[in-house]
C-alpha cells in the first residue's frame, strides 16, 4: 500500500511542475515549491431540493445552519451559482462538466436519468490520477451496470441509485451492487459510511461524493430535528405566501438542520484526521426548493428555469488556498465543477469531449483580472432560460434585469432589443444543438456483465400491461400491483450483454388467500416458470414517519424472493416479460423487482 508520505513525494513533482509551467502567479504570491501541498482530497456534499434560501447564512432566520455557515465563512461563497431545475440533470452536469442533454439525460425516471456510457465522469478523472473514489447517497444517473456508480469511476458506492426513496429509516440500500439494510435515518447512515471510508483512505488522496437525498420528499426526519419545528412560527415567508404549505416548510427546515448536523460531523472528522487543510470541501444543492418557502424573493421553485429554480447555495473551503470569507459575484454553475476541481488539484482531465464549464480557479484564488461575461443555460422539459451577469431571458422570451429586478417582475425586452435579440438567438442555437432527438430514448436496460453479475430490473424501469398498475404515479420507488389476469404482463426492454446461465428471482408479495398462481418469465424464446406457493403480505411502510402527507412517492414494503432457478439467456435485445399462466386467486402478486444474476457463460 502506498502511504501518504510516498504520495506527497510523487505528487510534489507534478504539482511543482504544473506550477512552474503556468508561470502566471506573481513571484511574491507564489508558494515555495518546498511547501507545495500534496494533491488535495475532494469532498462534495450535495443536498437534494434545498433552496438557496434554506440556510441561515443566506438570511433565513427561520433556520440555524451553523456548520454550513461556518464552512462558507472558512472559504468562498459563489453568489450566483446555477444548477438544473431538477435532480438527475444537475448530477449529470457535476459528473461531466457538460450540459445534461449532451449525456442523454432527459428525465428523472424510466431510464431517462441515465448518463450515456461514452461520457467520462469526474470520478474517472480523479481515479485515473490515483485517487480513491467513493460515493455515498442518491446517485440518480442509472441503476444497471455499466450505468451504476461502480462503473462510472467510483470504487465504493453505498446508497440508492433511484431518484427518490420511499422511506428514510432503515431503508434497503445498494452497497457496491449488493442489497443491504441501511441503519437508522438515511442521512446519518450515509454520513457514517462516508466518514468511515475517508478514515480508511486517509493516507492517500480521496474523492468523496456525498449526495444526500433530503429535504427531498417524503418529508421524514428524526424527532430531534422535528421537535424544534413542529409548532414553530415561520416568520420569513415565501414570495407567494398564499402558496406556502407551512407544515411542509417546517419539515423541510428540520431536514436541513439534520443535514447541517451531519455536515458538522464530516468537518469534525476531517479535523480529527488532520485532513482539513488538505481537503477541498464543497457544499451545494441540486435544484431550487421543493415547495414555496422563503427564497430571497426569487421567482420560481424546483422544476422552473426561473432564478429560484436554478440558483443554488454554493460554498467551497480549502484552507490556505481559498481566502476565507470571499464572495464570488460572477455567474458560475455546476458545469464548472469538473474543470475547477481538476485545475485546483492539478489533475489532468482525461475525457476527450469538450466541456461546457470553465475552471473557476482564478475567481476562487482571487487571481481573475479580466473575467469575461458568459451565458449559462438552464433547461428542463424543452424549456430553456439563459443567464448572463446582468440579465435572464426566461423560457417565454421575457428579459429581466436581474440587478435591478432580481424577482423577475418587469420584462425589459422592449427597452433592450439588442440584448434580447442576442440572448434569443443564443437560446435558439443551444436548443438546436442539444435538444433534437433527446427524448427519443431507445437505450435498453443493460443486463449481464461478469464483473457485476446481478442486474436489478425494478418496476420503475418496466412497463405495465393490462390491469397491472403502478403503486403510485411517480415510478422511482414504485411496485406493480393489480396483476389479476393471464392477459396481464410486465415487460422490461433489455439488452443482454453476455449469453449464459442466469439465476432469475422476482421479489413479490401475495396474501395467503391468493397463493398458487403459476407465472412465467420469458426473453427471446427462452422461458422459465415458477409457482407462488408461499404467502408474504407485510404492511406498507412510510406513512408512520411522514411529517406531512406524501404526494407521488410510493409507500413501500418488504418483498419476498420467488426463485425461478436458472434460465439460459441469449445475448441481444428484447422484452423480458413476466406474466401469469394460471391465476388461482383474486390476484397474482405485487412485484417490486426482477433480479437476473449471471452465473456462468455457456460452455
Q: Which residues bind Ca ion (CB under 5 A)?
A: 48-49, 87, 286-287
The residues pairing with 399 across neighbouring beta strands, listed in sequence order, are 393
Indicate the residue among 122 and 310 with the shorter CB distance to Ca ion. Answer: 310
- What would the DSSP string read from start to end of 175-216? ETTEEEE--SBHHHHHHHHHHHHHHHTTTS-EEEEEEEEEES
3-state SS class at 307:
helix
Identify which of 340, 315, 310, 343 has the alpha carbon closest to the alpha carbon of residue 328.
Answer: 315
Residue nearest to Ca ion (CB): 87
For every residue of 140-172, DSSP letters joined together read -S-SSTTSSGGGTT-SEEEEE-SS--S-SBS-E
- Residue entry with cell 464548472: 336
Tell me the closest approach of the beta carbon of residue 317 to Ca ion, in angstroms: 23
Q: How far is the CB of 81 from Ca ion (least distance, A)?
A: 15
Q: Which is nearer to Ca ion, 145 or 284 (CB)?
A: 284
Residue 296 near residue 54, CB atoms below 8 Å: no
Q: Would you say 47 or 123 has its CB closer to Ca ion? A: 47
User: What is the closest distance, in whole angstroms, from the C-beta atom of residue 428 to Ca ion in the complex?
Assistant: 28
Does an H or E element contain 174, and which?
strand 172-175
Do the strands 560-569 and 445-447 form a parallel or antiparallel pair, or are they unpaired? Answer: unpaired
**Which residues, listed in sequence order, are joined to residue 173 by a DSSP beta bridge?**
180
Counting Cα atoms < 13 Å in the Cβ hemisphere of 501 gives 7
Q: Would you say 182 or 211 has its CB closer to Ca ion?
A: 211
The burial of 170, by beta-carbon neighbours within 10 Å (0-12 exposed, 13-18 middle, 19 or more buried), is given as: middle
CA 396 to chain centre: 28
Give the β-pairing of 178-181 and 279-285.
Answer: unpaired
**Cβ of residue 87: shortest distance to Ca ion, in angstroms?**
4
Segment 408-413 long-range contacts (CB within 8 Å, at least 24 positions apart): 408/298, 408/299, 408/300, 408/306, 408/307, 409/299
Name the residue nearer to Ca ion (CB basis): 110 or 176: 110
Residue 487 near residue 552 (C-beta atoms within 8 A): no
Nearest distance from C-beta of residue 495 to Ca ion, angstroms: 29
Nearer to Ca ion, 286 or 306 (CB): 286
Given a contact cutoff of 8 angstroms between Cβ atoms, the answer to whether 178 and 454 are in contact is yes
Q: Closer CB to Ca ion, residue 187 or residue 496?
A: 187
Q: Are 116 and 103 in contact (CB under 8 A)?
A: yes
* Residue 48 vs 257, nearer CB to Ca ion: 48
Give how far Cα 334 sits from Cα of 213, 312, 355, 379, Å: 18, 10, 12, 13
Query: What's the min distance (Å) between Cβ of 49 and Ca ion?
Result: 4
Q: Minimal distance in Å, beta carbon 108 to Ca ion?
A: 9
What is the three-state SS of 463-504? EEECCCEECCCCCCCCCEECCCCCCCEEEEEEEECCCEEEEE
Q: Which three cell numbers stand for residue 147?
A: 450505468
Q: Which is nearer to Ca ion, 87 or 468 (CB)?
A: 87
Task: Tell me whether residue 258 or residue 287 sits nearer to Ca ion (CB atom).
Answer: 287
CB of residue 288 to Ca ion, shortest distance in Å: 9
On the 0-12 / 13-18 / 19+ scale of CB atoms within 10 A, 49 is: buried
Q: Nearest approach, Cβ of 310 to Ca ion (angstroms)?
A: 12
Element at 269 (helix H, strand E): helix 246-272
**Which one, 126 or 212, has the nearer CB to Ca ion?**
212
Torsions phi, psi for 581 (to 5 deg) = -95, -25
Least Å from the CB of residue 50 to Ca ion: 8
Asked if 129 contacts 347 with a C-beta cutoff of 8 angstroms, the reply is yes
- Closest separation between CB of residue 86 and Ca ion, Å? 6
Minimum Å gap between C-beta 286 and Ca ion is: 4
Whether omega for the bond prior to residue 377 falls within 30 degrees of 0, making it cis, is no
Taking the least distance from each CB to Ca ion, the nearer of 137 and 205 is 137
Nearest residue (CB) to Ca ion, 286 versus 336: 286
Question: What is the closest distance, in whole angstroms, from the C-beta atom of residue 67 to Ca ion in the complex?
Answer: 21
Give the span between the Cα atoms of 176 and 133, in whole angstroms.
Answer: 12
Closest distance to Ca ion from the beta carbon of 164 (Å): 9
Q: Which is nearer to Ca ion, 108 or 331 (CB)?
A: 108
Task: Give the whole-angstrom CA distance, residue 121 versus residue 128.
Answer: 11
Output the smallest distance, CB 287 to Ca ion, in A: 5
Using the minimum distance from each CB to Ca ion, give the nearer residue, 166 or 453.
166
Amino acid at each position: 500500500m502506498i502511504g501518504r508520505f510516498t504520495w506527497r513525494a510523487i505528487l510534489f513533482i507534478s504539482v511543482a511542475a504544473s506550477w512552474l509551467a503556468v508561470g502566471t502567479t506573481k513571484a511574491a504570491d507564489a508558494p515555495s515549491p518546498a511547501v507545495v501541498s500534496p494533491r488535495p482530497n475532494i469532498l462534495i456534499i450535495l443536498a437534494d431540493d434545498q433552496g438557496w434560501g434554506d440556510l441561515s447564512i443566506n438570511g433565513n432566520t427561520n433556520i440555524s445552519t451553523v456548520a454550513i455557515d461556518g464552512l462558507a465563512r472558512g472559504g468562498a461563497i459563489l453568489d450566483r451559482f446555477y444548477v438544473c431545475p431538477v435532480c438527475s440533470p444537475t448530477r449529470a452536469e457535476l459528473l461531466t462538466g457538460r450540459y445534461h442533454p449532451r449525456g442523454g439525460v432527459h428525465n428523472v425516471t424510466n431510464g431517462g436519468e441515465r448518463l450515456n456510457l461514452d461520457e467520462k465522469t469526474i470520478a474517472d478523472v480523479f481515479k485515473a490520477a490515483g485517487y480513491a473514489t467513493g460515493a455515498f447517497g442518491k446517485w440518480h444517473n442509472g441503476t444497471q451496470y455499466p450505468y451504476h456508480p461502480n462503473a462510472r469511476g467510483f470504487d465504493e458506492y453505498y446508497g440508492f441509485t433511484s431518484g427518490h426513496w420511499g422511506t428514510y429509516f432503515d431503508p434497503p440500500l445498494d452497497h457496491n451492487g449488493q442489497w443491504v439494510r441501511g441503519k437508522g435515518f438515511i442521512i446519518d447512515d450515509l454520513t457514517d459510511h462516508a466518514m468511515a471510508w475517508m478514515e480508511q483512505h486517509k493516507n492517500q488522496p480521496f474523492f468523496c461524493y456525498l449526495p444526500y437525498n433530503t429535504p427531498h420528499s417524503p418529508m421524514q426526519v428524526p424527532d430531534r430535528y422535528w421537535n424544534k419545528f413542529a409548532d414553530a412560527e415561520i416568520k420569513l415567508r415565501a414570495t407567494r405566501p398564499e402558496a406556502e404549505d407551512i407544515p411542509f416548510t417546517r419539515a423541510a427546515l428540520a431536514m436541513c438542520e439534520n443535514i447541517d448536523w451531519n455536515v458538522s460531523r464530516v468537518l469534525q472528522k476531517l479535523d480529527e484526521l488532520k485532513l482539513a487543510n488538505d481537503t477541498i470541501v464543497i457544499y451545494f444543492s441540486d435544484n431550487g426548493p421543493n415547495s414555496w418557502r422563503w427564497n430571497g424573493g426569487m421567482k420560481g421553485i424546483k422544476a422552473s428555469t426561473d432564478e429560484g429554480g436554478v440558483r443554488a447555495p454554493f460554498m467551497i473551503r480549502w484552507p490556505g488556498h481559498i481566502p476565507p470569507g470571499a464572495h464570488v459575484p460572477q455567474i458560475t454553475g455546476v458545469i464548472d465543477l469538473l474543470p475547477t476541481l481538476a485545475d485546483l488539484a492539478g489533475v489532468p482531465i482525461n475525457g476527450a469531449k469538450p466541456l461546457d464549464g470553465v475552471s473557476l480557479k482564478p475567481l476562487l484564488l482571487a487571481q481573475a483580472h479580466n473575467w469575461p461575461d458568459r451565458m449559462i443555460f438552464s433547461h428542463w422539459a424543452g424549456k430553456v432560460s439563459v443567464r448572463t451577469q446582468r440579465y435572464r431571458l426566461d423560457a417565454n422570451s421575457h428579459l429581466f434585469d436581474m440587478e435591478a429586478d432580481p424577482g423577475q417582475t418587469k420584462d425589459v425586452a422592449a427597452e433592450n432589443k439588442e440584448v434580447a435579440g442576442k440572448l434569443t438567438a443564443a437560446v435558439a442555437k443551444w436548443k438546436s444543438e442539444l435538444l433534437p432527438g433527446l427524448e427519443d430514448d431507445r437505450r435498453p436496460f443493460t443486463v449481464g456483465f461478469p464483473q457485476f453479475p446481478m442486474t436489478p430490473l425494478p418496476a420503475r424501469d418496466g412497463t405495465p400491461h393490462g390491469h397491472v398498475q403502478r403503486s403510485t404515479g411517480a415510478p422511482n420507488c414504485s411496485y406493480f400491483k393489480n396483476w389479476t389476469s393471464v392477459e396481464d404482463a410486465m415487460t422490461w426492454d433489455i439488452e443482454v450483454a453476455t449469453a449464459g446461465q442466469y439465476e432469475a428471482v422476482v421479489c413479490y408479495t401475495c396474501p395467503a388467500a391468493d397463493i398458487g398462481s403459476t407465472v412465467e418469465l420469458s426473453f427471446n424464446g427462452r422461458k422459465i416458470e415458477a409457482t407462488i406457493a408461499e404467502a408474504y403480505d407485510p404492511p406498507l411502510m412510510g406513512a408512520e414517519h411522514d411529517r406531512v402527507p406524501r404526494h407521488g412517492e410510493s409507500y413501500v414494503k418488504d418483498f419476498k424472493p420467488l426463485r425461478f432457478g436458472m434460465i439460459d439467456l441469449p445475448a441481444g435485445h428484447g422484452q423480458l416479460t413476466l406474466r401469469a399462466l394460471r391465476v388461482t386467486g383474486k390476484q397474482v402478486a405485487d412485484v417490486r423487482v426482477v433480479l437476473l444474476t449471471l452465473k456462468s457463460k455457456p460452455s
